[in-house]
Structure 1
Amino acid sequence: MSKKINKNLTEGSIGKQLFSLTWPMTLGMLGMVIFTIIDTYFIGLLGVQQLAAISFCFPVIMFLNGLSMGIGIGTSSLISRNIIAVERSKVRLMSSRAILLGLVIVVVFVTAGINAMEPIFSSLGAKQETMPYIVDYMTIWLLGVPFVTIPMIGNNIVRATGDTKLPGMLMIASGVVNGVLDPLFIFGYGPFPELGIKGAALATVISRGISLILILIVLVKREQLLTIYLGNIKDILTTWKELIYVAIPASISLLITPISIGFITKIISGFGKEAVAAFGVASRVEMFALMVVTSLGSVLIIFVGQNISKLKFQRIFTSLNYSMVFSLIWGGVVFLILLLFGNSIASVFTNVVEVIEITKKYFYIIGASYGLQGLVILSTSSYNGINKPYPSAIFSLIRMLILYVPLAWIGARLFEINGVFCAGFIANIIVGIISYYHLNLTIKKISVS
């Protein structure tokens, strides 16, 4: 493989650069969302209990993914601010130390998760009849978390060089492999054993394992950004300190969501397993609906990071304006689709009428706020790009724990499950406006300082 040439994002057409970086990311996100949706579809065929089980697993999976993504975001921020400014040998050390840090952190939490599995899910409201399915799925999934962590951090390293196409291709490949293996392992077609919900977890681990092998080959051979010679402990800790400065608030920001969803799941569990199953289905469709904006947010970390290193503030403001307009238009289009086809979309995952009806309610209420929820995503990403990660965590905290969860608790008692969904709508609107305004104000202050 030839050596990668870094992409300079501090010059050239802003719109073209954002587009050229975002579409491969979107395809990659599509692969991962399909990855999740396929799991949900095939598990739904097993029954409502299994579908409810995977819904309980969702916040814990998001929690551990959030740890990995936080390190990945910290890595992407650090490398994007150095990739065109320092020698590649220094970037190689940053990358290698980042992967080591990710492994250390994840191993600690995975060990804790395996040893405290039933208490964790009992606290989320899981009933005894659902618990065996949760344990079956999560035991295999937890053992495969390193296969999730390394590719996630590795993809962020490659993206920080300005290449979003290859990470996108790897994410798609992982989704395709998972889609092929899911029915084989779940239902036992041909020579494959019938493993039920365990098969879904095993398909996930295998597909992520393939991603692990491929990203390591790319990082070692093509990018030349991995080494086993990490330097002395002091230098490793110095790099970790720089990473953690962004990674901790980024992880907090990401982890606030699954923690909050855990609380929301607990509230919704009071309305029955059908409501929990519907919430799980709607949450996965929401990932699909917002994947383009999420991809653009990941791109903004890279774009803003390179331009802040060269003090190109006007380019940053222009990129944010483009992104804001796109988010609002995209959110409107998605909401219209959900209004027209919400019943058909929900029916893909289950034929249980009550689950379909509750899923539609989620689409119709929270879906109306997706444009503003996109602004939250774009703003939190941009804060990491300018190396100001703490507002990202603060706004995530306000949106989920200060607004969404308390309002959902009140709404559930006043208006039942519709009140829970209205709480999400209100939180998205308020924080979307405030976070975007504060981001622009922050960058203006940096530009004149």
Structure 2
Amino acid sequence: MAQNHRAKLTVGNIPTQLIKLTLPMIVGMIGMVVFNLTDTFFLGQLGTDQLAALSFTFPVVLIVGSLVKGIGMGTSAILSKYIGAHDMDNVKHTATNSLLLGLIISSIAVIIGLSTIRPLFSLLGAEGVILDYIEDYMSIWYYGTIMVVIPMIGNEIIRAMGDTKVPGLIMGVSAFVNIILDPILIFGYGPIPALGIQGAAIATVFARSITAVTSVSILYFREKIITFSNNSFTALIAAWQKILYIGIPNSLIQMALPVGAGIITRMLSSYGPNVVAGYGVATKIEFFAIAFANALTSVMGPFIGQNLGSKLFDRVKTGLKVGELYAMGSGIMIAILLSIFAHPIASIFNKAPEVVETTVLYIRIVSFSFGFQGILKISTTVLNVLNKPFHASMIIFIQTFALYIPLAKFGSSFAGLTGIFGALFISYFAVGILAHFLVRRNLQQYIQTPSS
């Protein structure tokens, strides 16, 4: 086996190793959050209508990304165990076939997306000039779908191999490019005309193109795991079946959040566009705030997978315990800081009082669920590696559709926005605890299974 393909995560001090793996990914995660916050910041300077339009697009953009993220997570879960077992033939075929699957998915997304912009967003509650702005943005964004899909899968493959530095760097560079291009294309500069919300979409597609080219180049030239030799149609279908077995439930997991966000956005639209805009700002700030938890989650899958593949079960148990402690500790600290500085942070993006008040209310309620949200994310990742994707789907379904949305409807009737945002806190708190016990039971069953 080539040196760069060895199982890198099966030796070393576990707490230190998880921190070293997570830190580079934090840079990347923050980069992606800055990527989104940049659009929010500059479009907020154009006006509340443009900001509300971007907020309406958020759930749909997340749905497309969630579908691909699920495929990437399925690929990573399979690859990490192959790497731990030193099975490089299956590593190469799985990596190559997952990228081919991504190409097919992105092509379908373009066709469906472009033909459903106005009816879909009208259903979500957008109308008038806001709907026009949405069409301006999404008609460009959909054409760049392939540039979103390929790096998401490619980075999952690179992380599965134990390298978190390169994916983090790729994500950071993409964010930097977006920061440079956004103001130029949105407001115009020199011979470049002001393109408004269309400029934000063009900047996004261009920045994502850089990540796509870079990730594929690394997989092909450095890792040398993209190959079409001995890759028959039968092998292709077999690989897709394994990926989709984990990938489809994971896609449903990932989609549940934006679908839930879409339902909540529709609910909030009755309070007016300023409240929708404030909610959009708050959710972007939330992505920044939970960057550590997301980064930690992204490395837990490869860590658990490689150690399961090498049958190092004590390292798996210790890694899971350490990961949960990190997630809870960071969540508490971030919640305290955000509560203190909520108002000045919210005011950065838009000065409209109702936008700021909505953002502050969300932050001060929902931030205290971040620790439990981190545990939930880690648990679903570990369940995927344990080949229990439907268990992972179940707990996310419970969180979103059995608790959050019904409680939000109830809370809205009796406590307005406070009731809606309080419902999200309750759902994460309850399901985070449930996930903690569920993943441990399934891990113990996996260890006791003779074939494991």
- TM-score tier after normalising by the smaller chain length: over 0.9
Deviations 1:7-32 (A, max 9, x none): 43222211121111111111111111
- Indicate the residue corresponding to 1:329 in structure 2: 329
Counterpart of 2:4 in 1: which secondary structure? coil
Deviations 1:67-123 (A, max 9, x none): 111111111111101024244343222111000111112221331111011111011
The letter of the residue matching 2:199 is: G
Counterpart of 2:423 in 1: which secondary structure? helix
- Indicate the residue corresponding to 1:76 in structure 2: 76
Counterpart of 1:126 in 2: which secondary structure? coil
User: Structure 1: how far apart are the matches of 2:129 and 2:409?
Assistant: 25
The letter of the residue matching 2:203 is: A
- Indicate the residue corresponding to 1:302 in structure 2: 302
- Indicate the residue corresponding to 1:50 in structure 2: 50
The letter of the residue matching 2:407 is: L
- Indicate the residue corresponding to 1:170 in structure 2: 170
- Indicate the residue corresponding to 1:134 in structure 2: 134
The letter of the residue matching 1:146 is: I
Structural mapping, 1:205-220, within 5 Å: 205-220=205-220
Structural mapping, 1:109-188, within 5 Å: 109-188=109-188
- Indicate the residue corresponding to 2:26 in structure 1: 26
Give yes or no for contact 1:137–1:198 (8 Å, CA) kept in 2.
Answer: yes
Structural mapping, 1:389-428, within 5 Å: 389-428=389-428
- Indicate the residue corresponding to 2:12 in structure 1: 12
User: Structure 2: how far apart are the matches of 1:403 and 1:84?
Assistant: 38
Shift of 1:231: 2.0
Unaligned runs of 5+ in 2: none
Deviations 1:138-176 (A, max 9, x none): 111110010011111111111111111011111100000
User: Structure 2: how far apart are the matches of 1:153 and 1:246?
Assistant: 14
Counterpart of 2:349 in 1: which secondary structure? coil
Shift of 1:258: 0.5
Give yes or no for contact 1:25–1:295 (8 Å, CA) kept in 2.
Answer: yes
The letter of the residue matching 2:152 is: M
Percentage identity across paired residues of the two chains: 39
Deviations 1:279-313 (A, max 9, x none): 00000000011111111111111011111122222
Counterpart of 1:287 in 2: which secondary structure? helix
- Indicate the residue corresponding to 1:388 in structure 2: 388
User: Structure 2: how far apart are the matches of 1:357 and 1:229?
Assistant: 58
Counterpart of 1:144 in 2: which secondary structure? helix
The letter of the residue matching 1:313 is: F
The letter of the residue matching 1:247 is: G
The letter of the residue matching 2:337 is: I
Q: TM-score, normalised by structure 1?
A: 0.97
More off after superposition, 255-264 vs 98-107: 98-107
192 and 107 in structure 1: CA distance in 2 versus 1, 3 angstrom threshold:
same
The letter of the residue matching 1:38 is: T
- Indicate the residue corresponding to 1:355 in structure 2: 355
User: Structure 2: how far apart are the matches of 1:208 and 1:11?
Assistant: 34
Structural mapping, 1:194-343, within 5 Å: 194-229=194-229, 231-343=231-343
User: Structure 1: how far apart are the matches of 2:39 and 2:397?
Assistant: 29
Shift of 1:230: 6.5
The letter of the residue matching 1:9 is: L
Deviations 1:35-78 (A, max 9, x none): 01111000111100000000000000000000111111111111
- Indicate the residue corresponding to 1:442 in structure 2: 442
Is 1:39 aligned to 2:24, yes or no?
no
The letter of the residue matching 1:421 is: F
Q: CA RMSD in A?
A: 1.3
User: Structure 1: how far apart are the matches of 2:81 and 2:164?
Assistant: 16
Counterpart of 2:128 in 1: which secondary structure? coil
254 and 111 in structure 1: CA distance in 2 versus 1, 3 angstrom threshold:
same
How many aligned positions are there?
A: 448
The letter of the residue matching 1:394 is: M
Tell me which stretches of 4 or more aligned residues in structure 1 moved more than 6 Å.
none
Give yes or no for contact 1:24–1:165 (8 Å, CA) kept in 2.
Answer: yes
Give yes or no for contact 1:3–1:223 (8 Å, CA) kept in 2.
Answer: no
Give yes or no for contact 1:230–1:236 (8 Å, CA) kept in 2.
Answer: no
386 and 275 in structure 1: CA distance in 2 versus 1, 3 angstrom threshold:
same
More off after superposition, 311-320 vs 394-403: 311-320
The letter of the residue matching 1:255 is: M
User: Structure 2: how far apart are the matches of 1:347 and 1:279?
Assistant: 13
341 and 150 in structure 1: CA distance in 2 versus 1, 3 angstrom threshold:
same
